[in-house]
Amino acid sequence: ETGVTQTPRHLVMGMTNKKSLKCEQHLGHNAMYWYKQSAKKPLELMFVYSLEERVENNSVPSRFSPECPNSSHLFLHLHTLQPEDSALYLCASSQEASGGWETQYFGPGTRLLVL
């Protein structure tokens, strides 16, 4: 596997379900991101992890819970979601260097439908 992979690619869940999205990066990067992509809206940054520590949490509802067990893996745990949470969820990674900001590399996304 190369680059950034995400599983599952598609997910349908009811509002009472609990599910998790998985992201794995094979690039040796030290920062990982979750984004939400909805139609007609700009890409929304949800969470950022740097060196496995959460460094940004952009007012995301608590029904989304991230986990970063190591620098290569990132999870997004979902519970009691709402239909408006239906979207494409993108994972990205980058290599952070002191004094600089590096290019983010994206996975293919998980298409989530909440019924």
Partner 1 sequence: GNSVTQMEGPVTLSEEAFLTINCTYTATGYPSLFWYVQYPGEGLQLLLKATKADDKGSNKGFEATYRKETTSFHLEKGSVQVSDSAVYFCALNAGNNRKLIWGLGTSLAVNP
Least Å from the CB of residue 38 to partner 1: 11
Residue listed under structure tokens 């990674």:
93
Residue closer to partner 1 by CB (options 52, 80) is 52
CB 90 within 8 A of CB 46: no
What does the binding site for partner 1 look like in residue numbers (CB under 8 A)? Answer: 4, 6, 31, 33, 40-43, 45, 48, 50, 55-56, 90, 92, 94, 96, 99-101, 103-109
Residue closer to partner 1 by CB (options 16, 103) is 103
Least Å from the CB of residue 61 to partner 1: 19
Least Å from the CB of residue 70 to partner 1: 19
β-pair type (31-37, 44-50): antiparallel
CA atoms 37, 18, 20, 10: torsion sign? negative
Residue closer to partner 1 by CB (options 47, 64) is 47
Least Å from the CB of residue 88 to partner 1: 9
Residue closer to partner 1 by CB (options 42, 83) is 42
Burial string for 84-115 (b: 16+ CB within 10 Å, else e) reads ebbbebbbbbbeeeeeeeeebbbbebbebebe
- Cis ω before 61 (30° cut-off from 0): no
